[in-house]
Amino acid sequence: MDFLKKIETDLSAAFVQNGYIVQPCENLSALDKIRHKTVDLATNFLEVPYPEDAGEFLDKIFSVVPVEKLNSFRLHIISGLMAEPWFREAYFSCARSLVETIVGNELVMQRNIGLSIQLPGDDSSLLPLHSDTWGSECSPFEVVLWIPLVDCHRTKSMFVLPPAADAKWRERVKEFAGAGTESLYRAVEPEIEWLEVPYGNVVLFTPTIMHGNRLNQESTTRWSMNIRFKGLFTPYSDKRLGEYFAPIAVRAASKIGMKFTMPGGFNE
């Protein structure tokens, strides 16, 4: 039996087949607020006035932030966003119904934020081909909500290896043990998909499939954020509840059940 609504069934089938879903942001005002705060933090760091066009400012950040200052710049923005009490709920609201359809409605959310700022031609921010669940840190029950702050396409975006191709190549990964990740990438490259994600859209993907990024060969800068979600009661790996994840949606029956204790005498 399957009591999901048709839209839920269709989204679920697409996610299982493709390994990801790209859709319009569910709360564009929240996304605009996040981007505004990001630009505000960037201008504060650089000691420049707030720009007329936020997207163009972020696109062309390479003209004012040298590679050697990129990490301190990125950490300044991350700490500033995490200090905002509204940030995590705003981020979740960008894809709340999608996450609840794919994952469930009792959820935990990654405590910290991942922020990628990939300057054109900069090889210091690369994330080679990988699957997060090949190690012991990531649970296969997790999903990643990836949100760009600028238009992302081709090498300014991320790539994924769809599930069918991923399953095929996963069986052959041991053949590349001595050749390195780049050799594996070259083998799977004809089957990867580059995600086209204009600003105002979000991506939800499973980290069980191979994915990553390459040298940004476009003329503008990539800005993207990522935060993980999983079901509260699904198995955890090394990234534990309370350490890496924090609950954001716990239903009343679960709260009662977790606190319930049997009275004495019944099992004696």
| Cβ count within 10 A of residue 258 | 9
Across the chain, mean pLDDT equals: 95
Tokens representing 38 are 């990001």
Rg of the Cα atoms in the chain: 20
Residue 266 pLDDT: 65
Give the homologous superfamily in CATH for domain 17-254.
q2cbj1_9rhob like domain (2.60.120.620)
pTM for this entry: 0.95
CA angle 22, 97, 167 (to 5 degrees): 45
pLDDT of 267 > 70? The answer is no
So where are the chain's domains?
Answer: 17-254
Q: How far apart are CA 11 and CA 21, in angstroms?
A: 8
Residue 66's pLDDT band, with cuts at 50, 70 and 90, is very high
DSSP 191: G
